[in-house]
């Protein structure tokens, strides 16, 4: 969670120099190379056909979907603004987990999820002078895709191991992301990247897209996806702090209030969710 809390500020720093496609998908090319080295070093066995299908969902969610959607959004909004909307990710991950695990949470669970969604939509509408902006739609898409990748990856980590899940997902996505990332460099070459842009790209490539998942997927596998996902409640607050400290972004009282509202709503989803039976996520 700490590693991921710096993703938006790092992406925001990298975008002016490299563009959304390189920051969103180029990171996966670098991370895939690191994953390949690790898999070869330990001679990791090839996943089964069923596991490959599930790895495809992980790749679609956290290798392709979340990075490119969030990068496109951060071209037109601040990382502080994005932190509020991404605050829905723990509730969305829990929702995917309970549905996938066959749980039947009480109505109050879904009401709490709805409260968080309403808080985010109101915040987006106020910030957008009456209606959500395109950047907000990209961020909501990132939430949906990230939740899918987190929930499926956390469950699959029980079979393959946390770092193996992200490594195989990266390799599975490489034939798609590598050509697109290369085309992005041709269409939008780097524009004299600053040291901050290089550092931001390195961070999202090595930490956000690879090393951060080592601990994250292992934690989801051992503690349960829906429960451990709630640790991300602290992520919006940390991202707001990093945005102010590292990017000198102005965090107004409305943004802070919206962030607290989302945190409260997502915390309520955890308190109202019934305890899963044995074998469920």
Residue 130: predicted pLDDT: 56
Residue 77: predicted pLDDT: 87
CB neighbour list of residue 262: distance below 8 Å, 6 or more residues apart:
84, 87, 88, 116, 119, 120, 236
Q: Are 35 and 166 in contact (CB under 8 A)?
A: yes
To the question of pTM greater than 0.85 for the whole model, the response is: no
Residue 19: predicted pLDDT: 93
Residue 278: predicted pLDDT: 40
Q: Are 26 and 205 in contact (CB under 8 A)?
A: yes
In the chain, where are the structural domains located?
A: 2-272
Residue 89: predicted pLDDT: 85
Note down pLDDT in tens along the chain; length 281 residues.
788 989 999 999 999 999 999 999 999 999 999 999 999 999 999 999 999 999 999 999 999 999 999 999 999 888 888 887 887 887 788 788 777 766 566 777 777 777 777 777 777 677 665 566 888 899 989 999 999 999 899 889 989 988 999 999 999 999 999 999 999 999 889 988 999 999 999 999 999 999 999 888 888 888 777 666 666 766 777 788 888 888 888 777 877 787 777 777 767 766 765 544 444 45
């Amino acid at each position: 969670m700490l590693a991921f809390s710096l993703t938006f500020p790092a992406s925001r720093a990298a975008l002016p120099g490299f563009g959304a496609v390189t920051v969103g998908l180029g990171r996966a090319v670098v991370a895939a190379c690191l994953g390949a080295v690790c898999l070869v070093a330990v001679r990791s066995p090839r996943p089964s056909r069923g596991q490959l299908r599930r790895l495809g969902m992980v790749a679609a969610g956290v290798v392709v979907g979340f990075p490119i959607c969030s990068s496109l959004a951060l071209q037109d909004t601040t990382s502080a603004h994005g932190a509020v909307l991404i605050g829905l990710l723990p509730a969305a991950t829990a929702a995917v987990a309970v549905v996938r695990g066959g749980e039947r949470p009480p109505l109050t669970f879904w009401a709490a999820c709805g409260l968080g969604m309403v808080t985010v939509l109101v915040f987006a509408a106020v910030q957008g002078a009456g209606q959500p902006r395109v950047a907000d739609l990209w961020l909501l898409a990132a939430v949906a895709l990230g939740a899918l990748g987190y929930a499926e990856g956390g469950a699959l980590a029980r079979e393959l191991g946390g770092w193996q899940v992200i490594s195989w997902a990266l390799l599975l996505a490489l034939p798609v992301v590598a050509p697109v990332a290369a085309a992005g460099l041709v269409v939008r070459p780097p524009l004299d990247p600053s040291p901050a842009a290089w550092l931001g790209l390195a961070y999202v490539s090595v930490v956000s897209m690879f090393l951060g998942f080592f601990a994250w997927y292992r934690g989801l596998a051992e503690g349960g996806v829906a429960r451990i996902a709630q640790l991300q409640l602290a992520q919006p607050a940390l991202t707001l702090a990093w945005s102010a400290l590292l990017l000198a972004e102005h965090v107004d009282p409305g943004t802070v209030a919206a962030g607290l509202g989302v945190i409260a709503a997502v915390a309520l989803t955890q308190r109202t969710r019934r305890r899963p039976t044995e074998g469920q996520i």
